[in-house]
Structure 1
Amino acid sequence: MKQQVNLYTAELRPRKQRLKASTLLILLALVVLATAVFRGLGYWQNQKLEQQVAQVERQNSQLRDANEAMARQIDARKPDPELEKALQRVTDTLSRRQRLLQQVENLATNNHSGFSSRMAALARQVPGELWLTGLTLQSSPERLRLTGRTRSPERVPLYLEQLGSEPIFAGQTFQDFELNRPDDEDEERGDWVQFRVATEPGAEESDE
């Protein structure tokens, strides 16, 4: 006689648990809250990054402005070559006239044979871009000899013409006139021109 015993009782079977509506709502609320928190955190981080980007852009803009301002200041301080040349020409002219006027003052004390008047006239009429390197004045017989250099040869006749307008040189003529390039290798060939003028031909430097 066989007898079957069922050991798989109802207590051992898995029970199906159903979620209550309240529990489901709580879980849903937690999910929504977590999503909102993550979104809020992401938004806050984005805002933070945007603020940092804006700050960096402002700093870059300030640096660009400062750089441009410094560049303008540097450009303003750069010397103008043409202005420097003009200033040098004026300085040279003033220096030449000052030296001549100093000689005039030295001679004016005694006024030897009208030398001071002639020196004053020479100093007044020196044009720009012309340098006197030698001067001979002789009273008996009356002689005048000038040597110098220039980068503009046309300045020499202009200087002589201006001297002729001075009363002290009225009636005097320059019979000796010479222009040449310097032979000294240290001189800039093709740039400087030496000149010599005298009231008598062949006036020697020993007369100085």
Structure 2
Amino acid sequence: MMQQINLYRPIFRRQEKKFSALAMLQAGAAIAIGIAIIYGLLWWQVRDLRQELRQTDARLAASTKRLDDATRQFGPGAKSKLLEDQVADLEKQIAARLRVRDLLGRGLFSNTTGYSDFFVAFARQHISGIWLTGFDITGAGENMRLQGRTNDPALVPRYVQRLSAEQALAGKEFQVFTLSRPPEKDGGAAVPYVDFLFRTASAKDAGKS
């Protein structure tokens, strides 16, 4: 009697592609549209803030002139309701001006080109066998955190090296600091991929090296 031995294992099964080229293209288009909308709104905010700053500067100059005129009219030691009103108005104008300058000075809107260059770099340097599952970009791209999966861990350093060659990422040092295999599936079948997580080196990290 012949006995058949099943040498087939799920791990050798051809993995179904979870994302088709069309789906990736649609996702990329959706991301690009979302980014364009966000930075369109930010551009309007910057324009409004700069306009408000110009108006505040004009009001500040007018208030300063009125205060000088009142001081000359009533004398340095004289007190009057008009002079007190001028001082209060001047203080409000200065406070408003400082608030606007603080917003513009923080660099919150300094990255006027948006993150589109970064996404283009991620897509252009794509390597078959690697796919990103999430990312976090801070400010104008000073700090980045990317996470993804790969069916070949040796591809991760290669992908990092290719990203570092992108002009949009010039001067950014990437460090892989997590590379782990997810728990086995039900039935003990090994998961055919590993998760990776890497980020750019911050100024604090650079100081430690």
Coarse TM-score class (shorter-chain normalised): 0.3 to 0.5
Which structure has more relative contact order (CA 8 Å, sep 6+)? It is: 2
Which one has the largest radius of gyration?
Answer: 1
